[in-house]
Amino acid sequence: MTETLIGKRVDVLDKGWIELVDLMPHPSTDISGDLAIVNAARVSFLGESKGSDRDKKLLFYLLRHRHTSPFEMVELKFRVRAPLVTWWQWVRHRTWNMNAQSGRYTPFEENDFYVPDVWRRQSKDNKQASEGQVTDADGEALTAELLAHYEASFQHYQNALDKGVSKEMARLFLPGFSVYYTWVTKIDAHNLMHFLRLRMAEDAQYEIRVYAQAIYEHFFKQALPWTAEAFEQYILNPSE
């Protein structure tokens, strides 16, 4: 199953996506990620197993008791296209290794801007959160205003490029938080679980929550089914 994961791409938001670039251990080794975790805990040779039942029982023991270093032996590498409003949240997790597209070298396209499906209201109880949404009429008007803003901003950006302004300065005309960037990102399974626990939570900002959910549902659960099961039991829903 993991062979088909590498190269898989999942669409997120209006123009974003996540693509799995690589896995460690690589599927060509015939060692699953779950088994690599178990073997690391045993300080064993890759590929050595004591049978599925004992292997799975050990993995669950490790996560239940927070013996997390063996989970760092598995890594996932992604290419991600997301608006800056998402990356602003993402980069706070310093356990990710990242390399980003640069607007100094690569010109932006006219449609490289995030257009939300709905306009959320400011939460009355949480200064950094949103809840509910504005009326349909107000939402339609706001979207029209946003699209007009994007069009005018891009025209200013293109005009600056046409006049010979460097790309690194011309991008000052672009609406910063909405611009889509493509990143290469890598993380180990232990730290990815920490990221997922925080960013899949209901109080996480929507624009990063949908990326975390996509990583978990389309990649993590398929690459590490035992680990995902233990993660749900002991970390996501510890009281259930």
Other C-beta atoms lying within 10 Å of the C-beta of residue 214: 19
What is the separation of C-alpha 104 from the centre of its chain, rounded to a whole number of angstroms? 24
Q: Which long-range contacts (CB under 8 A, 24 or more apart) does 20-23 make?
A: 20/76, 20/77, 20/78, 20/219, 21/77, 21/78, 21/79, 21/184, 22/75, 22/76, 22/77, 23/74, 23/75, 23/76, 23/77, 23/223
Residues forming beta bridges with residue 121, ordered by sequence position: 131
Residue 240 token pair: 């259930």
The number of CA neighbours under 13 Å toward the Cβ of 116 is 22
Contact 172, 153 (CB under 8 A): no
- Please identify which residue in the block is written with the tokens 């998402």: 86
The residue among 159, 179, 183 whose CA lies nearest residue 170 is 159
Q: Cis before residue 27, ω within 30 degrees of 0?
A: no
Q: What contacts 79, CB < 8 A, 6 or more positions away?
A: 18, 19, 21, 182, 183, 184, 185
Q: What's the CA gap between 226 and 185, in Å, rounded?
A: 23
Q: Which of 79, 81, 94, 199 is catalytic?
A: 199
Residue 199 is among the residues annotated as catalytic for this protein: yes
Catalytic residues: 199
